Amino acid sequence: MTNALFETMTGRSDPCVNICVKDEASDICLGCGRLGAEIAVWSELSAHEQQSIIAQVPDRMKALSDARRTRRRARIRERDREPLGGQVRPDMPEA
């Protein structure tokens, strides 16, 4: 979505959706998909620079979702391999 389209649709020039939580591994905001550094200088960027960032957001959010899913699955696998009462779970193969 272009910045002009975003502004037309929302009446705002800033894509912030007030869900300001950044993914620690990537520094991407889970709400708007911008990097912390981009958020910090957003009002100083030209319309072209803002449009360029907004154009990257869908791919960023997809990659972020995939990475978070991979990390979550790894944590679950690790948790499930932990010993229960001093024994490895019989239904989980050892790594």
> What does the pLDDT look like over 49-62, one tens digit per residue?
999 999 999 999 99
Give the Cβ contact number of residue 56 at 10 Å: 14
Q: What is the mean pLDDT of residues 75-92?
A: 71
Does the residue 33 lie in any domain?
Answer: yes
Does the residue 54 lie in any domain?
Answer: yes
Does the residue 69 lie in any domain?
Answer: yes
Question: Whole-structure pTM over 0.85, yes or no?
Answer: no
Query: Residue 33 pLDDT more than 60?
Result: yes
Domain that holds residue 47: 3-81
- Domains in the chain, number: 1
| Distance separating the N- and C-terminal Cα atoms of the chain | 44
Does the residue 63 lie in any domain?
Answer: yes
Query: Residue 87 pLDDT more than 70?
Result: no
